């Protein structure tokens, strides 16, 4: 049973560029959430997608956007990258009606130079 898969595992981008991160949820899960984890910090909630719509959003600027596809996979897009966007981006999936803990992927390490 595949868990949550994220790609790529590492990425280096230049300031001002745009980046797309991808996430495939655990089999049977229909809800995808994205978190940003700066080095040495706790994860911070970016947004959550359910039924291909953004259901909830954290305190992140509009440069952060996302998408969920009919197969429940998801993308996180970040425009006009800043040095401060360097972080580990974690994807977590869950089944919408369940109050279980999320299943997390191993993350994408984004470095902005």
Partner 1 sequence: AQTVTQSQPEMSVQEAETVTLSCTYDTSESDYYLFWYKQPPSRQMILVIRQEAYKQQNATENRFSVNFQKAAKSFSLKISDSQLGDAAMYFCAYRSLVGRDDKIIFGKGTRLHILP
Give me the residues paired with residue 91 across strands. 34
Binds partner 1 (CB under 8 A): choice among 32, 43, 66, 93: 43
Binds partner 1 (CB under 8 A): choice among 92, 93, 110, 112: 92
Angle (CA) 79-87-103 rounded to 5° is: 100
Of 20 and 104, which CB lies nearer to partner 1 in the complex structure? 104
Of 18 and 106, which CB lies nearer to partner 1 in the complex structure? 106
Q: Backbone dihedral region of 62: left (phi > 0), alpha (psi from -120 to 50 degrees) or beta?
A: alpha
Query: Where does this chain bind partner 1 (CB under 8 A)?
Result: 31, 33, 41-45, 48, 55-56, 58, 88, 90, 92, 99-107, 109
């Amino acid at each position: 049973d595949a868990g949550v898969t994220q790609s790529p595992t590492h990425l280096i981008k230049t300031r001002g560029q745009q980046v797309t991160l991808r996430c495939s949820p655990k089999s049977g899960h229909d809800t995808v959430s994205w978190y940003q984890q700066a080095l040495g910090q706790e994860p911070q909630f970016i947004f959550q997608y359910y039924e291909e719509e953004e259901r909830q959003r954290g305190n992140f600027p509009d440069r952060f956007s996302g998408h969920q596809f009919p197969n429940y996979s998801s993308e996180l897009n970040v425009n006009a990258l800043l040095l401060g966007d360097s972080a580990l981006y974690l994807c977590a999936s869950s089944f919408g009606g369940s109050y279980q803990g999320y299943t997390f992927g191993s993350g994408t390490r984004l470095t902005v130079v």
